[in-house]
Amino acid sequence: MKKNALKSSTKTTKPTTSKASNKKETLTMNVIKAEEILCEFDRNTSEQEIQDRAASINGVGLIHSIKIQPIEHESYKYKVVVGRKSFVAMTQIIGKTEFTVPSEVSFIEGDAELIAFAENDERTNLTLAEQIEKLAKLSEKFGIAELATHLSHSPQWIAARIRLKELAECWRTATKENRFPNFTLGHYEIIAKYSEDIQLAVFEYFDRRNTDEKIPLAKFSKMLDEEFTFLLKNAPWNEDSSYQGCGECPACIDRKNNGFLFDDMNDYGKARCQNRQFYLEKLHAFIAEKVEKIRQDEPETLHISQSREYPEGFPLDVEEVYPPHAWTQVSKKNGGQRAFIVCGPQAGNSIHVKIEDYYRKQQEDRANSAAGTEPETTEEKQPSTLAERKERKHRQRQRHCIDSLIAYLEKFEYQIPDRNTIFKLIACLGVDSVFRGNWGKDGTKEGIASYPLVDEETLDAEAWKKLTSNLVSELKQGQSGPVEAKWAEAEVLAQIVGFDLEKTFSEAVEALPDPKAWQELEKKEQRPVEEKSSAA
């Protein structure tokens, strides 16, 4: 009798009215013992969340019944599908040992994972990272179209969320930590469209600025396109509009195949290449050759930048370049001096500029202070010798290698160093400079109170991640300006993490070759020596 009653309880039980007595008689509800129900969490849940749920149930009651399903298990008859926190709060804190059907627990049919996602998504309890992971898993089971129907969302919405799995590790961490509070799901979806190297560049760009600005999605998309992709028509070597980009990135492949659906999207004037590394290497080779030719033919021409920051592999020493705040564009007839743009949106083009007096004086004062001499206005600046240029090229290649090492360090795809190595590096940098603040995880207490929660298996990895940010900062101190590259430091770290620095340097030599114009410069420098030798 009890078994049949339990079966009937899968349907909603309603109070009935006895016709004989005309009085309401509440039917006895079936009871399920708590020990018969399996409850396993499918997401991280803190002890505090359980305490809060118990307080809510004690205060206002159980608002939504706990949903369960029958299972085949040697120890349990049912499992919790929806309401895991409520179940644990009622059994472990409130002390509930039995549940009534259907007021406290009720049966539900369907896919358990789909039901759990729909319930949590509706109440906005899922973090972005959890939503991405669960949607991706469900799409493998149902397909995007069917899943969209089940969840009452469009296939585009499902696909956009799943695409967020393509976010680089730094962005996935940012979503978990809410590192950029003003970024919405739409911002992350836009970022996920780009390749990993562009995503890393975008992360560094916004991480350095730590901006509180709320950027509209349309403006954000345009900003990334302009900052991290390249208009083919603007390539300085593309005089005949024949340049078609790298041919490998998604945008280039679309153009190479059947083009886009709408004619305006096929406009060459709007065509972009997303292969940042490919374009920059080609641009830098062009700039290096052009600068060497200008030095020989037009030594009075200035080198200027439209950008305050220089991309990886920039072929010139930044000491030779006037930054954007140091010059103003003016016409030649108004006294403008010819200048070649070496960095920025119009790199590869020439304009006329006027160097701001305050900047020129500042540069002169700095140089005189360093030399301990008074300014000499009559002596013209001598062009760099071949040896000086080779030294700058060598430093540029070292910095290219160090950039690759930094990227390698930040991916954490290598074997984490042993604890002794980690502590030796901490000793080198200073404990205070490495660990500021308390060790802790989201949802846990920090400081000494977190001691029982520390997992020794992950402790070294956590310490190494914090230490790595300091190691990277140390390396970056030599990545710009007249200072030497942190090559000795790079050699130590490369050996520790198994990074082939020697091979990377060989690749840098190929990627950043000596300009062809150096051959002519070498001949010119040798002539006076040969003439002097002949005269002797």
Same domain, 66 and 104: yes
pLDDT band at residue 531 under the 50/70/90 scheme: low
Residue 120 lies in a domain: no
In this prediction, residue 6 carries a pLDDT of 28
Q: Which two tokens stand for residue 181?
A: 């509070």
Residue 450 lies in a domain: no
Report the 3 state secondary structure along 397-432: HHHHHHHHHHHHHHHCCCCCCCHHHHHHHHHHHCHH
Same domain, 146 and 199: yes
Instruction: Pick the more confident residue, 187 or 380.
Output: 187
Q: Provide the terminal-to-terminal Cα distance of the chain, rounded to the nearest Å.
A: 123
pLDDT at 489 over 90: yes
Query: Which of 156-165, 292-301, 461-470 shows the lowest mean pLDDT across its residues?
Result: 156-165
For the stretch 331-370, pLDDT in tens is 988 889 999 999 887 888 999 999 887 776 666 665 555 5
Q: Which of 489, 266, 502, 487 is nearest to 396 (CA)?
A: 487
63 SS3 class: coil
User: Average pLDDT, stretch 91-112?
Assistant: 78
Residue 529 lies in a domain: no
Q: Which two tokens stand for residue 118?
A: 């729909």
Same domain, 467 and 357: no
Handedness of CA 306, 310, 313, 319 (dihedral sign): positive
Same domain, 73 and 104: yes
Residue 7 lies in a domain: yes
In this prediction, residue 536 carries a pLDDT of 54
The DSSP line for 307-321 is: -SS--TT--S-GGGS
The CA distance from 28 to 234, in Å, is: 79
Same domain, 188 and 225: yes
Same domain, 145 and 18: no
User: Average pLDDT, stretch 189-198?
Assistant: 81
Residue 460 lies in a domain: yes
Host domain of residue 303: 291-368
Q: Are 305 and 322 in contact (CB under 8 A)?
A: yes
Same domain, 149 and 216: yes
Residue 12 lies in a domain: yes
Share of the chain above pLDDT 90, in %: 9
The CA distance from 102 to 66, in Å, is: 9
- Name residue, tokens 């005309």: 22
pLDDT band at residue 428 under the 50/70/90 scheme: confident
Same domain, 50 and 87: yes
The DSSP line for 131-193 is: HHHHHHHHHHHH-HHHHHHHHT--HHHHHHHHHGGGS-HHHHHHHHHT-STT--HHHHHHHHT
For the stretch 76-86, pLDDT in tens is 888 888 778 88
Q: Which pTM does this prediction carry?
A: 0.41
Residue 519 lies in a domain: no
Residue 347 lies in a domain: yes
In this prediction, residue 124 carries a pLDDT of 46
List of residues 6+ apart from 345 with CB closer than 8 A: 226, 234, 306
Cα atoms in the Cβ-side hemisphere of radius 13 Å centred on 432: 0
- 78-82 and 37-38: which strand pairing? parallel
For the stretch 47-81, pLDDT in tens is 887 887 888 787 767 867 788 888 888 888 888 88
Helix axes 196-209, 276-297, angle to 10 degrees: 70
The CA distance from 240 to 315, in Å, is: 25
Same domain, 148 and 246: yes
Per the structure, the count of domains in the chain is: 4
Q: What is the CATH number of the domain that holds 24?
A: 3.90.1530.10
The CA distance from 409 to 247, in Å, is: 30
- Name residue, tokens 């200008």: 294
For the stretch 222-266, pLDDT in tens is 888 877 888 888 888 888 888 888 887 767 776 666 554 444 445
Same domain, 360 and 301: yes
Same domain, 94 and 134: no
Same domain, 149 and 256: yes
In this prediction, residue 495 carries a pLDDT of 94
Q: Which two tokens stand for residue 65?
A: 């019944």
User: Average pLDDT, stretch 146-170?
Assistant: 67
The CA distance from 401 to 505, in Å, is: 6
